[in-house]
Every structure is written in structure tokens, then in C-alpha cells.
């Protein structure tokens, strides 16, 4: 059974950098995409970005200038780095695996448990 | 702003059929996936693709698409189905970025 276990700090000050890591167990990196998704309190899910097995990345344009997502296959982990955090970045952050089949079916089939990140001075 | 639009709230009587919709231009090219989220929990995939349903998801959950509208149908809705439901897909840009709808709060009466 695939499991995603994530960790990182829960409290940051404005202007600091958020670093989160997600460890993958029970499955292969091959053929999948590895995503970060966030959800501000009481609000909708927001896709942050993804990294593929080859290291190719795609980012949400609204976060692209502050964002880096990377993959460490030797450790079965992928990571998020989001710079210059503000109160608007306060949210639950999730890691998730996505798959696309026949270029038609796209879904996030496994999710991490979530990390609540609060940005406050 | 999100390219997928959902009604904020839907209510259904216990045992009846609930239908939650999601509209967006990219749904002409990609199927929607649907996620159930209960308070304090991570989202759970309930349907994907044309007919897909992950193992462990009851068969009362089904997805469908017509044109630019995707639907999640819950047949014989149970009290435990009360939750927020989000649709997800790829956007209609050439970059094919992930996108979610705004979510629908399902209330079981």
C-alpha cells in the first residue's frame, strides 16, 4: 500500500522560507507525478506544483517566482521550498501522488496527512 | 482564478440521490476526478476518469461527463457522505497544470 508521510515546520515568520518533505513508501516513483497542494483555512484546494520522476517540474503561475519542488529518488522523497512567506500563505499543505492515463484521466490517488503551516510574526 | 466551477452547497435527503456538478472548459479534453474531504482530514479520491472508482470506495459513488460539465452522483446517500466534495482536472492551457473546483458542501438531511 502506497503511503505518503510528510513533515516540516508548523510556524514561520513573514519573509522566511517554508521547507516541506514528503517520503513515499510502498510504491515506485516511476510513472507518477509528485505534487504539493495547499488549502487555506476554510477555503478551496489549490494546486501548487509537481515534479516528475525525471525531475521535470510544473508550477502554479501565482507561486512560480517563489517556488522550488525537487525529487530525491535515492531517499524516496520529494520536497517543497516556498520563499518569502506571508500570512496569505497560511494553509494546510498536502503532498500527493498524481497519475495521468491515456492523456485523459488525471487524478490524485494518494495523499499525505497534511502539515498546517502558519505564518505569523 | 480556478477554471472549474462548483455550486457551493447541495443538500439531499437520506437515502436519496445527490448530484454535484463541476463546469469548466478543460473538461472537454480531460475527465474530472472527485475528492471527498471531511473536517480535519485529507481529501480522498472517490471517482476518476470515465468510470473509475478506487478500491474501497462504495459503488454508490459514480462520475460522468457531458460536454464541459462533470457530475458526481451519490445513489442512496448515507449520513457519512456528508462532506465537502472537490472536482479536479488539468487546466486548458498548453502547460496542463493541475486545477481544482471551489468545492461543494454536501448536507444530508
pLDDT in tens, chain B (109 residues): 458 999 999 999 999 999 999 999 999 999 999 999 999 999 999 999 988 999 999 999 999 999 999 999 999 999 999 999 999 999 888 778 999 999 999 999 9
Predicted pLDDT at B43: 98
pLDDT in tens, B63-88: 999 999 999 999 999 999 999 999 99
In angstroms, the separation between the Cα of residue A23 and the nearest Cα of chain B is 16
Cα B91 from Cα B4, distance rounded (Å):
8
Instruction: Check if the beta carbon of residue B11 is closer than 8 Å to that of residue B107.
Output: yes
Write out the residues of chain B at the interface with chain A, using a CB-CB cutoff of 8 A.
2, 29-31, 33, 35, 42-45, 48-50, 52, 54, 86, 88-90, 95-103
Would the CB atoms of B52 and A111 count as touching at under 8 Å?
no
Nearest to A71 by CA among A47, A110, A100, A36: A36
Pairing of strands B104-108, B9-12: parallel
Residue whose entry in the numeric block shows the C-alpha cell 516513483: A29
Task: Evaluate the CA torsion angle A18, B100, B92, A57 in order and state its sign.
Answer: positive
Cα A50–Cα A51–Cα A56 angle in degrees, nearest 5 = 125
List pLDDT tens digits, range A57-94: 999 999 999 999 999 989 999 999 999 999 999 999 99
Amino acid at each position: 500500500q502506497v503511503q505518503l508521510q510528510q513533515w516540516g515546520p508548523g510556524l514561520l515568520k513573514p519573509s522566511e522560507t517554508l521547507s516541506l518533505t514528503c517520503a513515499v513508501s510502498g510504491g515506485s516513483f516511476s510513472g507518477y507525478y509528485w505534487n504539493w497542494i495547499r488549502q487555506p483555512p476554510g477555503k478551496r484546494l489549490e494546486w501548487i506544483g509537481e515534479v516528475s520522476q525525471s525531475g521535470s517540474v510544473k508550477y502554479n503561475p501565482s507561486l512560480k517566482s517563489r517556488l522550488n519542488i525537487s525529487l530525491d529518488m535515492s531517499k524516496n522523497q520529494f520536497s517543497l521550498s516556498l520563499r518569502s512567506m506571508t500570512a496569505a500563505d497560511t494553509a494546510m499543505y498536502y503532498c500527493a501522488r498524481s497519475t495521468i492515463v491515456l492523456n485523459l484521466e488525471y487524478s490524485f490517488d494518494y495523499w499525505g496527512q497534511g502539515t498546517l503551516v502558519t505564518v505569523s510574526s | 482564478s480556478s477554471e472549474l466551477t462548483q455550486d457551493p452547497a447541495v443538500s439531499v435527503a437520506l437515502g436519496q440521490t445527490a448530484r454535484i456538478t463541476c463546469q469548466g472548459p478543460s473538461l472537454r479534453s480531460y475527465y474530472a476526478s472527485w475528492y471527498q474531504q471531511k473536517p480535519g482530514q485529507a481529501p480522498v479520491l472517490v471517482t476518476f476518469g470515465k468510470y473509475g472508482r478506487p478500491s474501497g470506495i462504495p459503488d454508490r459513488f459514480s462520475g460522468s461527463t457531458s460536454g464541459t460539465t462533470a457530475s458526481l452522483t451519490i445513489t442512496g446517500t448515507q449520513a457519512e457522505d456528508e462532506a465537502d466534495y472537490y472536482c479536479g482536472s488539468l487546466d486548458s492551457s498548453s502547460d496542463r497544470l493541475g486545477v481544482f473546483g471551489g468545492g461543494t458542501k454536501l448536507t444530508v438531511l
